[in-house]
A and B are shown apart, each in its own frame.
Chain A
Amino acid sequence: MIKVKFPDGEDVIEHILTTLSILDSMGKEFAQTNKVSLDFSEVRWFIPCSIILISNKIREFMDHRIELIEYKPPTLDKARNHLEKVGFPLGNKGDGNSYISIKHFKKDSKDLKQVNTKVNELMDAIESKLPYQIVESMKYIFGELSANIDDHSEFECASLMAQYFPTKEIVDIGVFDNGVSIPGLFERHKISFKGDSEAIRKAVWGEVTTKRGEIGRGYGLRTCKNLSIEGLKGEIYVVSRKGILVLSSGIDPIFYDIKGNSLQGTFLYLRLKKPQEKVNLYQFVE
């Protein structure tokens, strides 16, 4: 059984690296035994980024006909109850007062409106749970992130989750797709980059687009970056294959190239602060 332990603090990078190691162990166990067994009994604390990635991996295994999933929940009531609420491990249709539980959806290549429909459902559900100051910005960010997934990633299974922490006044949003990843997509289009983190930088800064020569492309992620960092004083974590980009208000961007486990797909995790007043997102749109 895979013993799951997350770091005590809120360092998102530490949580992501720990989660990548768990995902790697899950992959190995599944390959050898066609089952996955997770022991969360000692988990006392987690942040949504880890949970959405592990849950997505389980769904991926289910699509590949996993025979058995064993899950030992946390012994600590608070952690166990919260995991249940957000729909871990399989996802959940219901939502709470301040969160959108884990939502997974499989790609339906015949339905080109699928992502639009799913994100609409999510936004309709979350709108009343968020502070009004942030709703429109959230729509912009979610919209552009999902449009990118829809356009480029060739995912099999995408996962979404969002949570508002009223006492800390922050919103956590996680969007993951298990598609080709940003570096993988660039390789297909023969776009050069030194490391995976540089590929992420080029995508987020809008320096390159796989739709070369087409006017109006490449602005979406850059506007998301400016809105999240300058407008909402938040943090963005982009993990794609072995690259990690961290953007945070007031500090220079941080680039990591992971030496060990890599992520199959692209994960975007945002921590946004509730603004005192409504942010005019249009001042960030290029």
Chain B
Amino acid sequence: MKTVLLADRFGNNIFTRNSVSTFFEELNSLKEKNVILDFSKIKFISRSCADEYLKQIKTSKKDFLVRNLSPEVEEMIKMVKNSYKDLSFVRKLDSKGAIPA
């Protein structure tokens, strides 16, 4: 299992879709099937990035475990997820906003 610290790739805030899609391209090329996404130090994610993140999670063949989401980041991801009319579009998050592996 590979652990990836998002703050190392993005800085403290996740602002652009391009940065998220590039990040997932890197993740998808990893040999490990299971990846832990560690959100420590990530203070903010924009709405568009939360949208891109959920789409990338959905289409990736990897299994992700999400850790250390701040309340703000968790809130944004939940809001975007709830905005989808077709809820089957995204994987269900657990009570901490994490995506079960």
Contacts and interface: CB of A to CB of B under 8 A. Distances in A.
Interface of A: 112-113, 115-117, 119-121, 123-124, 136, 139-140, 142-144, 146-147, 150-151, 215-217, 219-220, 223, 282, 285-286
B40 interface: no
Contacts of A147: 15-17, 46, 48-49
B11 A120 contact: yes
Given A143-B44, A216-B80, A285-B79, A151 B17 contact: yes
Interface of B: 9-19, 21-23, 43-44, 46-49, 51, 54-55, 72, 75-76, 79-80, 83-86, 89
Could you say which of A113, A117, A119, A151 has the most chain B C-beta atoms within 10 Å of its C-beta? A113
Main secondary structure of the interface of A (DSSP, over half): helix
Contact of B19 (A116, A140, A216, A223): A116
Contacts of A119: 13, 15-16
Could you say which of A142, A216, A219, A220 has the most chain B C-beta atoms within 10 Å of its C-beta? A216
A120 B84 contact: no
Contacts of A113: 9-10, 16, 18-19, 22-23
A195 to B, nearest CB: 27
A123 B42 CA distance: 13
Contacts of A220: 46-48
A140 to B, nearest CB: 7
Contacts of B11: 116-117, 120-121, 124
Given A120-B11, A144-B47, A150-B16, 4 more contacts: A139-B44, A215-B86, A216-B51, A285-B76
Given A139-B44, A144-B48, A282 B16 contact: no
21 contacts: A112-B22, A116-B14, A116-B15, A116-B18, A117-B11, A123-B13, A139-B13, A143-B13, A143-B15, A144-B48, A146-B15, A147-B46, A150-B18, A215-B89, A216-B51, A216-B83, A219-B51, A223-B47, A282-B76, A285-B76, A285-B80
A246 B56 CA distance: 36
Contact of A112 (B18, B47, B75): B18
Contacts of A285: 47, 76, 79-80
Given A216-B51, A216-B55, A216-B83, A140 B46 contact: yes
Given A136-B44, A216-B84, A150 B13 contact: no
Contact of B72 (A117, A121, A136, A216): A136
Contacts of A151: 16-18
Nearest to B52: A216
Could you say which of A121, A123, A146 has the most chain B C-beta atoms within 10 Å of its C-beta? A123
B47 A219 contact: yes
Given A112-B21, A143-B46, A151-B17, A215 B84 contact: yes
A116 B47 contact: no
A240 to B, nearest CB: 19
Q: Which 3 A-B pairs have the closest CB atoms?
A: A120-B11, A143-B46, A116-B19
A219 B13 CA distance: 19
Nearest to A220: B48
Contacts of A216: 48, 51, 54-55, 80, 83-84
Nearest to B86: A215
A39 to B, nearest CB: 38
A284 B21 CA distance: 25
Contacts of A150: 16-18
Contacts of B12: 120, 123-124
